Amino acid sequence: MPRVRGARFYYNRLMTENAFEAISGRGSIVFLCDHASNALPPGGLGLDPALLSAHIAYDIGAASVTRALVGAYGAPAVLGRWSRLLIDLNRGADDPTLVMKLSDGSIIPGNRDADAEEVARRIAVFHAPYHAAIDTELDRIGPAAVLVSMHSFTPAWKGHPRKWEVGVLYDRDVRLAYPLMARLAEAGFTVGDNEPYSGALEGDTLWRHGTMRGLPHVLVEVRQDLVGDDERAQAFALRLKPILDAALGDMAASRR
């Protein structure tokens, strides 16, 4: 297993060959889950193990929803295998928050002294292979591809409750975002329009693979109390599929 010396990690072959999980499928939709896992190298970056079940380590419920949707559609998907604390796959390689030294008030000991060389190694071992896998899938499908990225957010932030149940994030491309927001609202959800975060993040996953390729794409944020265990995640995915189907149909109709 990797040995830890300060901020430098020695990644073994098993870790490097499993930098991401790719699920084969058919159709034009590609599901993504950047923050699917809370896995860390041995030593856990020196973090209190209790924090590995918290939102700073991964997007709670997002992987379960993604897998349920993948199963329902028979679609391909790419999911991250390692915690966002090791490296954030939803950031550009030059983003200063790529390797977080502090997250929601918690110091990440194994990142505190991570220098440029260590960050570059993590990019090469984890970040670059993940994005290369997405490129491979999109190259296979071609210009008909549609990207749907699944994330989740905490019910409250800094003591303030968040009213949204689902957030739809986007940058310049609204082909899928607008109809999806309308269909979610129609289904009774309280919907965040680029809330609780903005989708205008240059260098993030959908900017890189959606905006830069000119492909329709959307990032769906789900409040974690709706998907906090497998049963709730499965139920949410069951509700989301017909909504997403309708939004995709609206997008296709608008092209005619």
Identify the CATH number of the domain in which residue 13 sits. 3.40.630.40
User: Cα(132)–Cα(72) distance, rounded to whole angstroms?
Assistant: 25
CA distances from 218 to 14, 113, 123 (A): 32, 35, 24
% of the chain at pLDDT higher than 70: 95
Is residue 221 within 8 A of residue 236, CB to CB? The reply is no
CB atoms < 10 A from the CB of 34, how many? 26
Indicate if the pLDDT at residue 6 is higher than 50.
Answer: no
- In the predicted model, what is the mean pLDDT of residues 38-54? 88
User: Cα(110)–Cα(141) distance, rounded to whole angstroms?
Assistant: 39
CB atoms < 10 A from the CB of 192, how many? 21
Provide the mean pLDDT of the chain. 93
Query: pLDDT class for 189, splitting at 50, 70, 90?
Result: very high
What pLDDT, in 10s, does the model give residues 101-152? 988 767 888 899 899 999 999 999 999 999 999 999 999 999 999 999 999 9
Q: What is the pLDDT of residue 13?
A: 74
CA distances from 67 to 93, 151, 240, 242 (A): 27, 13, 13, 16
Indicate if the pLDDT at residue 4 is higher than 60.
Answer: no
Domain total in the chain? 1
Residue 247 CA from chain centroid, whole number:
20
Indicate if the pLDDT at residue 230 is higher than 80.
Answer: yes
- In the predicted model, what is the mean pLDDT of residues 172-188? 97
Q: What is the pLDDT of residue 133?
A: 97
What pTM, to 2 d.p., does this model score?
0.94
Q: Which domain holds residue 235?
A: 4-255
- In the predicted model, what is the mean pLDDT of residues 154-183? 95
Q: What burial class does residue 24 get, using C-beta atoms within 10 Å of its C-beta: 0-12 exposed, 13-18 middle, 19+ buried?
A: exposed
Q: What is the pLDDT of residue 15?
A: 76
